[in-house]
Structure 1
């Protein structure tokens, strides 16, 4: 079977991973910061309670902390398997308890944004942060192998 996929060189893959990690990480950090800043975590917990989120106070603290701390870890590319899983779980909770009943479109309160963010976080947890990351510097791992087509 003939494949028509364009294969980027590993350095380009790592640059794309870096840019994507930074962009998505900024979105997570902004949402985590918003939970602390807007009206504080008590207001976030109250909002969560109104949406039917279980254990709204614990959930508010988890969501804010995960988005802020793991989002920062995603930007830096440090502890990415842990950060990615924590963020994916955060987005799964948002999907399950808040957004799924509203359909797909974010403009209707739907799940498209939390779905995209959560899936990206999960991919980075599995694939890794790429060459331009603190994980790579700390572990001094060789560049990841690309899968032959």
Structure 2
């Protein structure tokens, strides 16, 4: 029963595979939306749309949203600074939820909040769990995903080189 309720406990690699797949999906979606704001709509067009939606400081907020999505999407995809970037994009999604989508209801076909809610939920999971073993974050010193034995060997080599 324990395996059924928590399969990653028995097969820890599942945790890292799922984190990788989540990062790929969320990263691609964020990149697409950021690219759309920069390339298809342009920042001027995005800013004009933000004016129509009543979003404060539309020139600034459109640039922040577009940059957070495009650059943040790339960083989520490769797994670099994942918790920080995920939280930044959660804030962007929460702003979109509160300022634009909540009054339209749940369904995206009516301009609703289902996409921003799903993105925020997935990004929150990445913010709390981290990027997983298959990420650039895992290569950084102090990463919980690094092999502690490898870290100790590297530290010993540094000490002996002095």
Q: Could you say whether these structures have the same fold, taking a TM-score greater than 0.5 normalized by the shorter chain as the test?
A: yes
**Mean Cα deviation higher: 8-17 or 85-94:** 8-17
SS at match of 2:72: helix
* CA–CA separation in structure 2 for the residues paired with 1:100 and 1:138: 39
Q: In the alignment, what sits opposite 1:127?
A: 129
Unaligned runs of 5+ in 2: 147-162
Q: TM-score, normalised by structure 2?
A: 0.83
Q: Please tell me the root mean square deviation across aligned C-alpha atoms, in Å.
A: 1.6
SS at match of 2:7: coil
Larger radius of gyration: 2
Q: In the alignment, what sits opposite 2:7?
A: 7
* CA–CA separation in structure 1 for the residues paired with 2:14 and 2:41: 41
* CA–CA separation in structure 2 for the residues paired with 1:141 and 1:17: 15
Q: In the alignment, what sits opposite 1:26?
A: 28
Q: In the alignment, what sits opposite 2:102?
A: 100
Q: In the alignment, what sits opposite 1:38?
A: 40
Q: TM-score, normalised by structure 1?
A: 0.90
SS at match of 1:139: coil
Matches within 5 A, 1:130-141: 130-139=132-141, 141=143
Superposition misfits of 4+ residues, deviation over 2 angstroms? 139-144
Unaligned runs of 5+ in 1: 145-149
140 and 132 in structure 1: CA distance in 2 versus 1, 3 angstrom threshold: farther
SS at match of 1:133: coil
* CA–CA separation in structure 2 for the residues paired with 1:20 and 1:118: 12
For these two proteins, the number of residue pairs brought into alignment is 143
